[in-house]
Amino acid sequence: MTVPRDFDCVVKHREQVLCGVVKTVFDCAEIASHALPGQFVQIEPSPDVFPVTRRPITINRLTGNGFELLFDVVGSGTELMAQMRPGDTVRVLGPLGRGWAIDPGSSWLLIGGGLGAAGFQFLMNSVDSVTVLIGASGSDRVVPLDSCRVITEDGSAGEKGLVTALISEELLDGADSIAVCGPVAMMEAVWNTIPEKHRRKVQVSTESRMGCGWGVCDGCSIPVSGGGYKKCCREGPVFPGVEIDWKRWKEAGL
C-alpha cells in the first residue's frame, strides 16, 4: 500500500450537485497516481486551530491531475469545506485506508444507499463489468453516477421502494463481488437480504467518527465478528461483510 502523505492541494472546481451536496475537485498528481478505489482522504476544513480534526471523505473519482470528492454538508466541518473555492489551498492527507479488493476481470454488483454511493464512480471506472443499484429517500439524494438503477422511497426518481427490492437472485448469481455502501441500517438490510451462499462475495465500505485517519488514535473502531474491533481508517474502511459484527455495529449506532 502507498504511504499517505500530507499535501497542500489547490481546489480546481466546486459545484453544488444536489441540495446540500457539494462536489469539489482538488489538484494533486501524487494522490491521483496512487489512490485506489475505496480509499479516502483527510481534509483540513480550515487552516485555523478549529476544528481540531480533519474530515475523512472517500474519493469519488480521479480526474486527470487530481481527485474529486462528493460530500454531504452535515456539520461545521463540511460547511467550511463547502465554502472552498477554486484557487484555495487546502491541506489533504492521503490516500488513506484499504479500499475495495478487486480481482482482475471480476464482475461487480454495487449497492448504494443515499450519499453512501459517493465513491462508487471510482470503483465503476476500475472494473470491467458492473451493475449499480442506488436507493435513496428521494431524487434530491441520488448521487449522479454514469449509469445505475435507481429506487427512491418517495418514488421521485426511478422506482418506488427500498434498494433491497432491486436485489435479485439473478444479479447475485452474476456477480463475483458485491460492494455495499450506505447508512448502517441500509447496509444491514442489504446484508440480511443476501442469502448465505453469496455473503462471502460481499464487501462493505464502513464509516465512523474518525480522529486521526492514519491509525494512531483507535477512535474509529468497527466491531468485528468473533469479538474486538478493527480500525476503520487503517484496516478498512472496506471490510469483507463476513468480518463485521453486524449486531454490535448497529448497537454502536454510528
Partner 1 sequence: MSFPPAIRRKFWGHDFSSPVMLASGTAGFGEELLDLKCLSGVGAVVSKAVTLKPREGNLPPRLLETPFGLLNSIGLANPGVHHVLNCILPAAAALPCPFLINVAGESVDEFADVVNILEDSSVHIGYEINVSCPNVAEGGTAFGVDPEVVLRVAQGVSRVTDRPFSVKLTPNGGDIVQSAEAAVEGGASAVTVCNTFLGMHIDWKTGKSVIRRKVAGYTSPALLPLVVAKVWQVSNAVSVPVISSGGVSRGEDVLQLLAAGAQMVQVGTRLMRRPFAASELMDEMKKLTGE
Nearer to partner 1, 44 or 68 (CB): 44
Report the candidate in 135, 131, 97 with the shortest Cα–Cα distance to residue 1.
97
Beta strands 149-152; 129-136: pairing state: parallel
The residue type found at 253 is: G
For the chain, the 3-state helix, strand and coil shares in percent, each to the nearest 5, are 25, 35, 40
- What's the grid cell of residue 227? 469479538
One of 215, 225, 243, 250 touching partner 1 (CB under 8 A)? 215
CB of 234 to partner 1, least distance (A): 7
Query: Measuring CA to CA, how many Å separate 39 from each of 95, 107, 142, 159, 203?
Result: 6, 20, 21, 31, 14
Q: Is 223 in the site for partner 1 (CB under 8 A)?
A: yes
CB of 57 to partner 1, least distance (A): 15
Stretch in the footprint of partner 1 (CB under 8 A) among 33-41, 65-73, 152-160, 203-211: 203-211
Site for partner 1 in 53-112 (CB under 8 A): 53-54, 76-77, 93
Cα–Cα distance, 117 to 140 (Å, whole number): 13
Q: Is 19 in the site for partner 1 (CB under 8 A)?
A: no
Q: Where are the alpha helices (DSSP H) in the chain?
A: 29-34, 76-82, 120-126, 169-174, 184-193, 246-252
CB of 138 to partner 1, least distance (A): 24
Nearer to partner 1, 177 or 205 (CB): 205
CB of 230 to partner 1, least distance (A): 11
Q: Is 10 in the site for partner 1 (CB under 8 A)?
A: no
DSSP character for 224? B
Beta strands 40-43; 89-96: pairing state: antiparallel
One of 15, 49, 105, 147 touching partner 1 (CB under 8 A)? 49
CB of 227 to partner 1, least distance (A): 7
Tell me the DSSP string of 109-173. EEEEEGGGGTTHHHHHHHSSEEEEEEEESSGGG----SS-EEEETTSSSSEES-GGGG--HHHHH
Site for partner 1 in 109-168 (CB under 8 A): none
One of 27, 44, 68, 72 touching partner 1 (CB under 8 A)? 44
CB of 177 to partner 1, least distance (A): 27
Site residues (CB under 8 A) for partner 1? Answer: 3-6, 44, 49-54, 76-77, 93, 208-212, 214-223, 227-229, 234, 248, 251-254
